[in-house]
């Protein structure tokens, strides 16, 4: 039943296009976070990378909860979202090491 519902939703061309668009954006965000982490190597870049990973895990958990109808996973979705939001606030609050 879950596989049939998932297959019906992915047959819709708009849902399919948005699914791939979200996946590509998640990969780009992860790559940008990894590049920023490798270039700077500071605590601020680590906070940015963890924030990017948290938002990606939030998207994956929300996908599993909604489309696969595992409602219990919404709790995991909210936990990752709060952790990513905390990482974003920490990233914003940190001062740059090199101030001009």
Per-residue confidence (pLDDT) for residue 63, from 0 to 100: 79
Q: What is the pLDDT along the chain (100 residues), one digit of tens a residue?
A: 555 666 666 667 777 787 788 788 888 878 887 887 777 777 777 777 778 888 888 888 887 787 778 788 888 888 888 888 888 887 888 776 544 4
Per-residue confidence (pLDDT) for residue 2, from 0 to 100: 59
Residue with tokens 């948290």: 54
- The span from the CA of 48 to the CA of 82, in Å, is 14
Domain-wise residue ranges, the chain:
17-93
Other beta carbons within 10 angstroms of residue 77's beta carbon come to 19
Per-residue confidence (pLDDT) for residue 9, from 0 to 100: 61
């Amino acid at each position: 039943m879950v596989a049939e519902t998932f297959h019906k939703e992915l047959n819709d061309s708009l849902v399919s296009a948005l699914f791939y668009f979200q996946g590509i954006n998640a990969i780009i965000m992860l790559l940008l976070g990894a590049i920023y982490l490798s270039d700077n190597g500071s605590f601020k870049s680590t906070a940015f990378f963890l924030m990017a990973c948290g938002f990606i895990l939030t998207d994956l958990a929300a996908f599993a909860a909604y489309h696969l109808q595992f409602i219990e996973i919404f709790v995991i979705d909210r936990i990752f979202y709060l952790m990513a939001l905390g990482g974003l606030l920490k990233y914003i609050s940190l001062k740059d090491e090199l101030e001009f």
